[in-house]
Amino acid sequence: MSLMDILAQVASGNATDHHYDQVINQAPSDVMGKGLAAAFRSDQTPDMGQMVGQLFGNSNSAQQAGVLNQILATLGPAALSALAGGVMGKMLAPGATQVSPAQASQLSPQQVQDIVTEAHQQQPALADQLGSFYAEHSGLIKTIGGAALAIAMVKMKDHMAQRT
């Protein structure tokens, strides 16, 4: 069964966990990233901050640092340090451009949710950046939640259809 066939089944509501696994394993990362970004922006899913906070909570410390470093690269250290009551500013040394896994593991999913929610308000393109990041960590994608995963896959199908 082709990837488009599997995505069509997902879009029709006839998907199983096996179908989701097949898509996650077969989809090109750019397509996965676009689908995730669409789910992050959708009004049919939880807030982007909530979804990223959930993904953060299911990540290992290296992945946690990676997502925070993606936000840092998108916003810059000064802007990121001011978000969510300055929680990142308290962690980062002056002039720091990276968050270590040890530093990242000190944050709670709720703190990351707050950071992402505020960061997304300042920089709407953050959804694209984080979609691309999580597309490279496909093992986490199923933890995003059923509705968000279904929306991501429908958007992936739409994107794949545009490519052909």
Model confidence pLDDT, tens digit, residues 99-140: 899 999 999 999 999 999 988 998 999 999 999 999 998 788
48: left (phi over 0), alpha (psi -120 to 50) or beta: alpha
Question: 48-96, pLDDT tens digit by residue?
Answer: 999 999 999 999 999 999 999 998 888 877 676 676 667 777 777 777 7
Residue ranges covered by each domain of the chain: 3-163
d(CA 37, CA 58): 18
The pTM is what? Answer: 0.86
d(CA 94, CA 44): 39
